[in-house]
Structure 1
Amino acid sequence: MSYSNIGKTVRLTRILRDGRAVVFAFDHGFEHGPGDFTSETIDPRGVLKKIVDAGVDAVMLTAGLAHVTRDSWLGRTSLIVKITGKTNLRPEDQKLLQSIIGTVEEAVSLGADAVAATVYWGSQYEDAMLSQWVSIKEEAERYGYPCLQLAYPRGPSIKNMYDVEVVKYGVRAAIEVGADLIKTYYTGSRETFREVVKAASGVPVLMSGGAPRKNFIDFLKDVEDVMKAGAQGVVVGRNVFMHENPALAIKAVMKIVHEGLTAEEAYKTMQ
């Protein structure tokens, strides 16, 4: 085993501390704009402090946001630096393209444990994002850094990006290009997501939290289903930081992922 492979194993262990992980994604200010936040959550440091205090396994941030909020997470949880992204300000016909917004070297400088990049499988810009991914993966390998791929099937020919066959294809494509961790869509049932996990062939799969659910218990049921399907965890964002009590929300998710509680049991701990 090369030194870089040892480094990757060490960093993956920090994120998947018991083989499972709850990752808090907080790149929404870049991807969606300030409209996702209230006057109480517009300052990212306050939100991150609550989440980190609750014991989350890792946070996924852009390099700039990681620098601004360093007092909230430094030395207290794992950092994953997202080094591709897009804004909602760009023209509609280019919204299925991610741009490079950071580097692996910046992630190393920040003391991160992994890097993350998105590939919109099926997009008309798939080739450009694949080129980005290959370059990121090559540099990350030199530093012994795991690469989390946000494997999102989106494109003009995809009618339903949550269809199990479509999601399975994206996951299979992600492992074919060397993803060490995969974040992907929930397919709507425990049975279909079990197929997604199987398609990953042992590469850890994390469910994308997605848009906020009207009733938080429904989101917890999704988390329970993917864990029972064999997933290694979840990547949560809006369903947590848009909740009236983000700390209780993330703790409930963690009880399902790490302690095996049912959604109902975890929800009761919030009362």
Structure 2
Amino acid sequence: MYQSKKVRMNRLFGNGRCLDVAIDHGVCNEPSFMDGLEDMEKVVALLAAAGPDAIQMNYGQSDLLQNLPGREKPALVMRLDMGNPYNRFRHRDMWAVLQNASDPIAPALRMDAACVVVNLFMLPDEPGLFKQCVENIARVGQDCEKFGMPLMIEPLVMQPNSERGGYLVDGDAEKIVTLVRLARELGADIVKADPTSDPADFHRVVQAARCPVLVRGGGKADLRQVFANSYALMRQGAHGMVYGRNIYQHDNPARVVKALMAMIHDGVDDAEAWRIYEASGR
């Protein structure tokens, strides 16, 4: 008997909140994302010991987490797709494909994942890429319903590559809300959403989702500002975060995890989170 979505969701969301540390950046094929992920075995062991709710990985690296002994380890969130919108330049052909085209969620079932995640890219003048994402989600969604696997959709509204080059998110609340609403229409059980440019607008994203909303972290930023932004978004109704580079590219990722877990699960503000971060380094 396959697990129900509720059982798997319970593995992710302690008290309805979740910190998911994303280290699935290898399939982005963007060298700037890889700093800090050179030794995946070491990274996974360090993050698992730090104790976030989940670690987001691809199938080919997920054994590093699932082979760790003991029951007290983070849940596995498995990335199912890959694409080329992350690169610094715009390709002639923009694409997003499932990593296992013939049976998309089979790897997640084999590795006992608690959730799977798929992108929903919205790039200017790239309707074909958007169509591919919708087709991917439709394919994965059918299997998720069949096997009781929660589906996380990652709606990403991006700026034109010509603006500054590379993977740049458009924080326009109207665009984000519209795409998040579409993610829900497509069957999202969890939405991984970009922060709105004005955090005070983020409650509109939560309203549109009608399911748990985790904030996407993006590129590495000043940690105090990351904490301040995170707290502001939590106050707007976010259920947690999916942070990658803002954790694994810091000198001591475990300290960042500890501070964010206190914010997410204990309700501390950004100032207290910073104190926790500093105190854990002594």
Calculate percent identity across the aligned residue pairs. Answer: 25
Task: After TM superposition, give the deviation of residue 190 of structure 1 in Å.
Answer: 3.1
Q: How does 1:29-68 map to 2 (within 5 A)?
A: 29-38=26-35, 41-68=37-64
- Which of 247, 250, 253 aligns to 2:257? It is 250
Q: Aligned to 1:148, what secondary structure does the other structure show?
A: strand
Inter-CA distance 129–262: structure 2 relative to 1 (3 Å threshold): same
Q: Is the alpha carbon distance of 1:127 and 1:249 closer, same or farther for their aligned partners in structure 2, counting shifts above 3 Å? A: same
Unmatched 5+ stretches in structure 2: 164-168
TM-superposition CA deviations, 1:88-140 (whole Å, max 9, x none): 67982357532111320110001111111001135421111111110000011
User: What's the offset of the Cα at 1:50?
Assistant: 1.6
* Structure 1: distance between partners of 2:69 and 2:154: 22
Corresponding residue number in structure 1 for 2:140: 136
Tell me what 2:219 maps to.
211
Matched letter for residue 203 of structure 1 = C
**2:84 is equivalent to residue 81 of structure 1:** no
Contact 1:97–1:120 at 8 Å: present in 2 too? no
Q: Does the C-alpha gap of structure 1 residues 73 and 198 become closer, same or farther in structure 2, counting only changes over 3 Å?
A: farther
Instruction: Please report how far the alpha carbon of residue 37 of structure 1 lies from its aligned counterpart in structure 2 after TM superposition.
Output: 3.9
TM-score normalised to the size of structure 2?
A: 0.86
Give secondary structure in 1 for the equivalent of 2:191: strand
Offset of residue 188 of structure 1? 2.9
| Superposition pairs of residues 1-271 of structure 1, within 5 angstroms | 7-38=4-35, 41-72=37-68, 75=71, 76-87=73-84, 92-93=90-91, 96-102=94-100, 103-122=104-123, 123-124=126-127, 125-154=129-158, 161-200=170-209, 202-213=210-221, 215-271=222-278
CA RMSD of aligned residues (A): 2.5
Tell me how far apart the structure 1 counterparts of residues 92 and 64 of structure 2 sit (CA, whole Å): 29
Residue-by-residue CA offset, 1:154-173 (whole Å, 9 max, x unaligned): 3759x972100011011100
Secondary structure of residue in 2 paired with 1:270: helix
User: C-alpha distance in 1, partners of 2:200/2:32?
Assistant: 35
User: Structure 1 residue runs of 4+, over 6 Å off?
Assistant: none
Distance 1:49 1:168, change over 3 A: same
Q: Is the 8 A contact 2:97 2:132 kept in 1?
A: no
Task: Report the CA distance between 1:67 and its aligned residue.
Answer: 2.5
Q: SS state of the match for residue 237, structure 2?
A: coil
Task: Give the distance between the partners of 2:34 and 2:87, measured in 1 at CA.
Answer: 17
Equivalents in 1 of 2:181, 2:122: separation in Å?
A: 11
Q: CA separation of 1:133/1:155 partners in 2, compared to 1, >3 Å: closer, same or farther?
A: farther
Equivalent residue of 1:203, what SS? Answer: coil
Distance in 2 of aligned mates of 1:195 and 1:212? 25
Query: Equivalents in 1 of 2:18, 2:10: separation in Å?
Result: 10
Q: Residue type matched to 1:178 in 2?
A: G
Distance 1:229 1:141 in 2: 30
> What are the Cα deviations for residues 8-28 of structure 1, in whole angstroms up to 9, with x where unaligned?
011011101210000011111
Measured at CA, do residues 104 and 18 of structure 1 come closer, stay the same or move farther in structure 2, by a change above 3 Å? Answer: same
Letter of the 1:11 counterpart: R
Range moving further from structure 2, 259-268 or 40-49: 40-49
The number of aligned residues is 265
Give the letter for the 2:105 counterpart.
Answer: V
